[in-house]
């Protein structure tokens, strides 16, 4: 894996459309707007008069659909698609989604964003009873549970299956005559419904994909809902009442695109408010300017600058093509200052006292590199400010960090981190600062946000991950 890839990996994007010509092409365009959510693999399943065909492969959407014909030949009136970053089951072709299933009586295709916390035990249980899995992905479990259900219609089979799986899931399930969308009881992942000018419905991870295909936003799918779209239109149903919103706060901090709205909150504006709150909580005296770390922290840096009355400057630039390179500098070259991703703008930062705003620290790789870059470029001082609290606990609902040993803030104090990064000072936003800045309109705990990565308080039992989590925590205690 190239070392210049993202440190904090995203967690899959899904897109589905029902009842329109060029469904596969629209899905391609929608997925293109969701590419930031996953770059390991991509795929589209098209439904042509009830016949489902899937094309999927490794890499970016443009790697999988590498000629105009690749999408044009997928004719049909409905489609679902997926861009993947794996959380369960490695980066193998059979795990790339949509997962296609051909039964003697029908066909299905599944696309999933999130991570199931009881996938291992469901699989073990079903394999003991003779089930044969196609993939090593957690996603596949839903298909087995639907087919094993004794309910007499597909709506009820879906509901039964959705009540058995646990954890984080936004699912799209397409059959020959309908498209289902379902969200887990905590709504860990965003999922929205929109409508095209011709009346066709779209369901996807973020509103930026609705904008990309010219669809009008209709509503956010709510925790526990099961949506059905078919020839007779859209039906909004639910599979459980036992729900409580706990959407991933990292969606607002880092994952989602700034032009997306989640539950009515614009992501860029939420980040700006986090930056402004950070300026109040962690001010810097005698600074000359605020700079952000492209791309995701620029909104927070703008908010910090506005609140503190300091100029917002471009002190770092990011090479737009860095995500696409598989050729990386060796460690020796890196030590000589070779950097393929970020560069300092020397003419701006030389001799200046900088407030450097990033949105998060995961392994600490970025912070270490950029403080050095800026100092090498002649910055007089670098005060690092992070627009989120220290990430100390793993996520089991769809982000790929599952071990605390990977998280620098779980192992080091703030002063130790400051020293490792070579920064002149280091400060983080409080958990309450995140909650107040996002400010979702709900009575749920933490105003509807999951902040478990910061406080270790998970909104659900961890099921199959419980033992591993306890072991990790014990190991961490012994290291302290």
Ligand X SMILES: O=P(O)(O)OC[C@H]1O[C@H](OP(=O)(O)OP(=O)(O)O)[C@H](O)[C@@H]1O
Ligand Y SMILES: NC(=O)CC[C@H](N)C(=O)O
Q: Extract the annotated binding site for Mg(2+).
A: 296, 358-359
Q: Which is nearer to ligand Y, 138 or 358 (CB)?
A: 138
Nearest CA to 75 among 55, 89, 60? 55
Q: Which is nearer to ligand Y, 88 or 154 (CB)?
A: 88
CB of 345 to ligand X, least distance (A): 16
| 223 close to 449: Cβ distance less than 8 angstroms | no
Q: Which is nearer to ligand Y, 11 or 307 (CB)?
A: 11
- Angle, vertex CA 198, rays to CA 196 and CA 199, nearest 5: 70
Cα separation, 390 vs 471, in Å, equals 21
- From the list ligand Y, Mg ion, ligand X, none, pick the one residue 88 interacts with, judged by a Cβ distance below 5 to 8 Å according to partner type: ligand Y
Catalytic sites, residue numbers: 12
- From the list Mg ion, ligand X, ligand Y, none, pick the one residue 12 interacts with, judged by a Cβ distance below 5 to 8 Å according to partner type: ligand Y
Residue 6 near ligand X by CB under 6 A: yes
| Residue 470, CA distances (Å) to 191, 460, 476 in order | 31, 15, 10
Enumerate the known binding-site residues: 296, 358-359
Q: Which is nearer to Mg ion, 27 or 296 (CB)?
A: 296
| Residue 370, CA distances (Å) to 149, 318, 339, 407 in order | 54, 11, 10, 18
Q: Which is nearer to ligand X, 185 or 315 (CB)?
A: 315
Q: What residues line the site for ligand Y (CB under 6 A)?
A: 11-12, 84-89, 95, 112-115, 137-139, 398
- From the list Mg ion, ligand Y, ligand X, none, pick the one residue 139 interacts with, judged by a Cβ distance below 5 to 8 Å according to partner type: ligand Y
Plot region of 23 (φ>0 → left; ψ -120 to 50 → alpha; else → beta): alpha
CB of 360 to ligand X, least distance (A): 5
**Which one of 45, 260, 308, 360 is in contact with ligand X (CB under 6 A)?**
360
CB of 467 to ligand Y, least distance (A): 20
| Residue 452, CA distances (Å) to 249, 255, 391, 439 in order | 9, 16, 9, 17
CB of 97 to ligand X, least distance (A): 22
Residue 249 near ligand X by CB under 6 A: no
Residues 277-306 close enough to bind ligand X by CB under 6 A: 293-297
CB of 363 to ligand X, least distance (A): 3
How many residues touch ligand X under the rule CB under 6 A: the total is 19
Residue 361 near ligand X by CB under 6 A: yes
CB of 444 to ligand X, least distance (A): 26
CB of 445 to ligand Y, least distance (A): 24
Q: What burial letters (b/e) apply to 401-412, b meaning 16+ CB within 10 Å? A: bbebebbbbbbe
Largest CA distance in the chain: 73
52: Cβ–Cβ under 8 A, 6 or more apart, which residues? 45, 46, 100, 107, 108, 109, 174, 176
Residue 107 near ligand X by CB under 6 A: no
Q: Which is nearer to Mg ion, 364 or 456 (CB)?
A: 364
Residue 296 near Mg ion by CB under 5 A: yes
| Residue 205, CA distances (Å) to 30, 35, 113, 285 in order | 10, 11, 8, 41
Residue 325 near ligand X by CB under 6 A: no
- From the list ligand X, Mg ion, ligand Y, none, pick the one residue 344 interacts with, judged by a Cβ distance below 5 to 8 Å according to partner type: none
- From the list ligand X, Mg ion, ligand Y, none, pick the one residue 113 interacts with, judged by a Cβ distance below 5 to 8 Å according to partner type: ligand Y
Decide the pairing of beta strands 13-18 and 316-318: unpaired
Q: CA 452, 455, 459, 462 torsion: positive or negative?
A: positive
- From the list ligand X, Mg ion, ligand Y, none, pick the one residue 7 interacts with, judged by a Cβ distance below 5 to 8 Å according to partner type: ligand X
Q: Which is nearer to Mg ion, 140 or 358 (CB)?
A: 358
- From the list Mg ion, ligand Y, ligand X, none, pick the one residue 305 interacts with, judged by a Cβ distance below 5 to 8 Å according to partner type: none
Residue 238 near ligand X by CB under 6 A: no
Residue 35 near Mg ion by CB under 5 A: no
16: Cβ–Cβ under 8 A, 6 or more apart, which residues? 27, 78, 79, 80, 81, 111, 172, 174, 179, 181, 202, 203, 204
Q: Which stretch binds ligand X (CB under 6 A): 5-13, 75-83, 98-106, 328-336?
A: 5-13
CB of 398 to ligand Y, least distance (A): 5
Residue 8 near ligand X by CB under 6 A: yes
Residue 388 near Mg ion by CB under 5 A: no
Put the strands of the sheet holding 201-204 in their side by side order: 51-58, 41-48, 78-84, 13-18, 201-204, 192-195, 216-220
- From the list ligand Y, Mg ion, ligand X, none, pick the one residue 361 interacts with, judged by a Cβ distance below 5 to 8 Å according to partner type: ligand X
In sequence order, the β-bridge partners of residue 42 are 57, 83
Residue 97 near Mg ion by CB under 5 A: no
Q: Which is nearer to ligand Y, 114 or 187 (CB)?
A: 114
Contact positions toward Mg ion, by CB under 5 A? Answer: 296
Contact positions toward ligand X, by CB under 6 A? Answer: 6-8, 254, 293-297, 358-367
């Amino acid at each position: 894996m190239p070392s210049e890839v993202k440190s904090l990996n995203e967690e899959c994007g899904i897109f589905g459309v029902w009842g329109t010509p060029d469904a596969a092409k629209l899905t391609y365009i929608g997925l293109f707007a969701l590419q930031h959510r996953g770059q390991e693999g991509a795929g589209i399943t098209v439904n042509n008069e009830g016949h489902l065909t899937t094309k999927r492969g490794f890499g970016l959407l443009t790697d999988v659909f590498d000629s105009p014909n690749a999408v044009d030949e997928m004719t049909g009136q409905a489609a679902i698609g997926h861009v993947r970053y794996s959380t369960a089951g490695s980066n193998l072709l059979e795990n790339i989604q949509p997962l296609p299933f051909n039964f003697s009586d029908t066909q299905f295709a599944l696309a999933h964003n999130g991570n199931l916390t009881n996938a291992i035990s469901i699989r073990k249980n079903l394999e003991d009873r003779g089930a044969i899995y196609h993939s090593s992905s957690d996603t596949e479990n839903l298909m087995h549970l639907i087919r094993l259900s004794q309910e007499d219609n597909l709506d009820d089979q879906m509901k039964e299956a959705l009540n058995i799986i646990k954890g984080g899931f936004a699912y799209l399930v397409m059959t020959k005559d309908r498209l289902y969308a379902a969200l887990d009881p905590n709504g860990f992942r965003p999922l929205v419904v929109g409508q095209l000018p011709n009346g066709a419905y779209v369901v996807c991870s973020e509103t930026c994909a609705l904008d990309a295909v010219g669809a009008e936003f209709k509503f956010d799918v709510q925790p526990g809902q099961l949506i059905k779209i078919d020839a007779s239109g859209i039906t909004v149903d639910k599979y459980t009442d036992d729900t409580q919103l706990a959407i991933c706060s990292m969606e607002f901090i880092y994952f989602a695109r700034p032009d997306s709205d989640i539950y009515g909150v614009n992501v860029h504006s939420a980040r700006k408010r986090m930056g402004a709150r950070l300026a109040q909580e962690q001010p810097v005296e005698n600074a000359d300017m605020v700079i952000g770390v492209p791309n995701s922290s620029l909104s927070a840096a703008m908010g910090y600058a506005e609140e503190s009355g300091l100029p917002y400057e471009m002190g770092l630039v990011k090479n737009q093509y860095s995500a696409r390179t598989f050729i990386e500098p060796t460690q020796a070259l890196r030590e000589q200052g070779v950097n393929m991703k970020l560069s300092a703008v020397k003419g701006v930062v030389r001799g200046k006292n900088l407030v450097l705003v990033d949105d998060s620290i995961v392994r600490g790789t970025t912070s270490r590199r950029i403080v050095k870059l800026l100092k090498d470029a002649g910055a007089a001082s670098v005060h690092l400010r992070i627009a989120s609290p220290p990430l100390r606990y793993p996520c089991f609902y769809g982000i790929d960090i599952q071990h605390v040993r990977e998280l620098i803030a779980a192992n080091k104090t703030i002063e130790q981190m400051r020293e490792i990064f070579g920064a002149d000072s280091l400060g983080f936003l409080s958990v309450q600062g995140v909650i107040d800045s996002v400010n979702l309109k709900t009575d749920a705990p933490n105003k509807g946000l999951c902040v478990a990565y910061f406080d270790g308080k998970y909104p659900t039992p961890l099921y199959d991950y419980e033992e591993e989590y306890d072991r990790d925590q014990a190991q961490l205690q012994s290291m302290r």
